[in-house]
Amino acid sequence: MKTAMDLPVEIEEAVNGIEPIRIAKIGRREFLKLTGLVGGGLMLSFTGLRAAATGGALHPNGFLRIDSEGITLYAKNPEIGQGVKTSLPMIVAEELDAAWEDVAVAQSPIDEATYGPQVAGGSNSIRVNWDLLRTAGATARAMLLGAAAVRLGVPPAELATRDSHVVHERTGTRLHYTDLADAAAAMPVPDASRLPLKAPDQYRLLGTRITGVDNEALVRGEPLFGIDQSLPGMKYAVYQKCPAQRGRVKSFNESEIRQLPGIHDVFSLEGNGNPLELMPGVAIVADSTWAALSAKRQLRVDWDETDAAQDSWSDAVAQAGRLRREAGATRVVESGDVDAALAGSAQRLESFYTYHFASHAQLEPQNCVARFANGAVELWAPTQTPHRGIDNVANTLGIPADRVTVHQTRCGGGFGRRLYNDFMCEAAAIATRVDGPVKLQWTREDDMSHDLFRAGGFHQLEGSLDAEGSVTGLRDHFITFADRGRPVSGGSFRPGVFPSGLIDNLRLEETALEWRTRCGAWRAPFSNVFGFVIESFVHELATAAGRDHLEVMLEIFGEPRWLDPGNPRALHTGRAAGVVRLAAERAGWGRAMPAGRGLGLAFYFSHAGHVAEVAEVSVDAEKKIKVHRVTVAADVGPIVNLSGAENQLEGSVIDGLSTMAGLAVTFENGRVEQSNFDAYPMLRMPETPEVDVHFVASDFPPSGLGEPALPPLAPAVCNAVFAATGHRIRTLPISEEGFSIV
């Protein structure tokens, strides 16, 4: 491996006065060319211009710009609270060797040619952008070193970089990057594949605690979020859709609404047939949010519900009860011979688990500012998927994608809801009927009725133990939902799903009930509920065997190995065992507990993250659970921002606890029965447990932390409740079984 001091050949040649290889002129600005996925990793090369066009600024790629005024790093992905506006630029700064105090961070424009995919989802930002951002920083560093070598007339090998300076130790010379930017800009942009990158032991910034780059603006109440955007002459709109999703407008009290104060217009929209884009509804345009909201309360719509959702949760419960002991309609995972394992077992267990639908409840209700003129539309949108949003809007309006411009704003929570851009499509469609800019504002009630819900589901489990108490077989019949035969989001097993490859005789099969209401990705999709089911049932098996849960878990992991060699998103049993042991050790696993108090352990693997959690709880006679402490151990490779990483784990624990405690969405006649937070009671400060976070310092490629710490929480708490009381919770939320978190 090259050391950090090796320079790419182009820079060496430039320093030595040799005419560098000319790089093809591609366009007016530098851009990154993504050459595609090879072997699961992102390979990339830089193609760029000589910097003459940048006016003396060093701007070799979209991620940084250095001029005589300072160093600016560009954060490419939407910020939804996962901290990427801070952590992604940290990766650039590390390889650039810029002092963090010298750096200004700006949100990058939405520009796929320059930045590649700009998405907040799948805990992917760190994993996917790691090499890209390291290379971006290292590119500029090499050019600065080359410029310094020329200026000082010394070999590059005598130079080092530190704290935004090129340093020549022998003479004690220090040149600040801002003083070198002009000369560095004239260096050739080196080939990314030849750039030296730091080894982890050379990191100065990564792994430290860095506070969020927007913190000060946040505490001053500055307009960072979508909902805060305002344009001169802007009007305000609301949009009422059928409470049963996909219903159509038959008629509405148009003349009455038109006469209300502050109302500019009221009209219905047909919808474009794609429920992820534009559903039918009635738009009200007003001169203030309040005027629009007030008029919406007076709006009376007669809906045609012929094609609308008719979904009923109570019907689904009844159907699942009838179907659970039957064979599943589809076998997704089949290994070994589970029938033989069950038939020949020393002990056989059967359990039925249920979890409800859940809502994203991101705190900032959907909103979007849109301005349509001359066949083009410009949007200011809190979205997790701006590029997809451009396509959605183009499709909705029937205009080319290059007539759609999206500006990204900070998002008041995402959790998966803002992967879907229906609110952008609505704003764009309304804007075509409004002279000037318009801001669409959803209410909380709109959000609750028109979420893309985390699907509920049912699991009939059977497991077998041999005479030694080892798990020999597992069968899971998942009763889930499909929309006209197509499984809803998160409503289907995927090949390789945990615990595939860990239990010799395994059958995962499913039967889908018809469902029309939209479902979508919800923080750690499917893992957030599968973790509860499988990790609770493994504890049931360990208990039936009379064995220690930790011992049984480690036995299931077996020898350290990748379950899918070469796949960086696969489970590694050694890493799994490592976090389970660490969490158990730090939580004092095995210590004696007083009556009514217990420890519970769980592990789950999702989004390339290995996470184990131990919950310590007390339970009283009224089924009130006090969660004293949750100990978390995670292995996600090197940590980029320790403060952000800890915050994500604390938040995942609290989100997990909040959701398992009392959050359920139910449906009757296609309508959501909960309309606001009074019926969807999220966890509050008094119920918050202590959270004790530990990271395994591993040198695997880094992966994200937005999601993988959520799935183990519910089973850890439920296993602890069992340890404390002997009661096995098999329903989420646990309020359905009479439990509460206090």
Partner 1 sequence: MRLNVNGTEHELEGVDPSAPLLWVLRDGLGLVGAKFGCGISQCGACTVLVDGEPVRSCSYPVAAAVEAEVSTVEGLAEPGGELSAVQQAWVDLDVAQCGYCQAGQIMAAEALLRSNPSPTDADIDRAMAPNLCRCGTYLRIRKAIKVAAAQRAEGGRS
Which residues here bind partner 1, judged by CB under 8 A? 79-83, 209, 211-212, 214-216, 218-225, 227-228, 230, 236, 261, 288-291, 293-294, 361-365, 410-415, 441, 443-444, 643-644, 647-648, 650-655, 658, 676-678, 682-686, 688, 690-691
Closer residue to partner 1 in complex, CB, 185/224: 224
User: d(Cα 624, Cα 639) in Å, to the nearest integer?
Assistant: 36
State in angstroms the smallest separation of the CB of 380 from partner 1. Answer: 13
User: d(Cα 664, Cα 217) in Å, to the nearest integer?
Assistant: 35
Helix axes 527-544, 642-662, angle to 10 degrees: 70
State in angstroms the smallest separation of the CB of 713 from partner 1. Answer: 11
Closer residue to partner 1 in complex, CB, 320/654: 654
Closer residue to partner 1 in complex, CB, 81/704: 81
State in angstroms the smallest separation of the CB of 655 from partner 1. Answer: 5
3-state secondary structure 155-204: CHHHEEEECCEEEECCCCEEEEHHHHHHHHHCCCCCCHHHCCCCCHHHCC
State in angstroms the smallest separation of the CB of 716 from partner 1. Answer: 16
Closer residue to partner 1 in complex, CB, 97/692: 692
* Residue 371, helix vs strand vs coil: strand
Closer residue to partner 1 in complex, CB, 261/273: 261
Q: Encoding tokens for residue 133?
A: 């951002």
Written as one letter, the residue type at 11 is I
State in angstroms the smallest separation of the CB of 345 from partner 1. Answer: 41
Beta-ladder partners of 464: 348, 473
Nearest to 281 by CA among 102, 461, 422: 422
Nearest to 238 by CA among 446, 497, 395, 74: 446
Residue corresponding to tokens 């059967």: 350
Closer residue to partner 1 in complex, CB, 412/487: 412
Half-sphere exposure of 718 (CA within 13 A, CB side): 31
Closer residue to partner 1 in complex, CB, 222/270: 222
Closer residue to partner 1 in complex, CB, 420/537: 420
Closer residue to partner 1 in complex, CB, 545/614: 614
User: d(Cα 333, Cα 508) in Å, to the nearest integer?
Assistant: 5
State in angstroms the smallest separation of the CB of 212 from partner 1. Answer: 6
Q: Residue-wise over 167-179: b if at least 16 C-beta within 10 A, else e?
A: bbeeeeeebbbbb
Distances (CA, A) of 128 to 40, 41, 593, 702: 10, 8, 44, 9
State in angstroms the smallest separation of the CB of 359 from partner 1. Answer: 11
Written as one letter, the residue type at 399 is I
State in angstroms the smallest separation of the CB of 214 from partner 1. Answer: 7
Determine how β-strand 505-514 pairs with β-strand 471-483.
Answer: parallel
Closer residue to partner 1 in complex, CB, 10/650: 650
* Residue 722, helix vs strand vs coil: helix
State in angstroms the smallest separation of the CB of 642 from partner 1. Answer: 10
State in angstroms the smallest separation of the CB of 688 from partner 1. Answer: 4
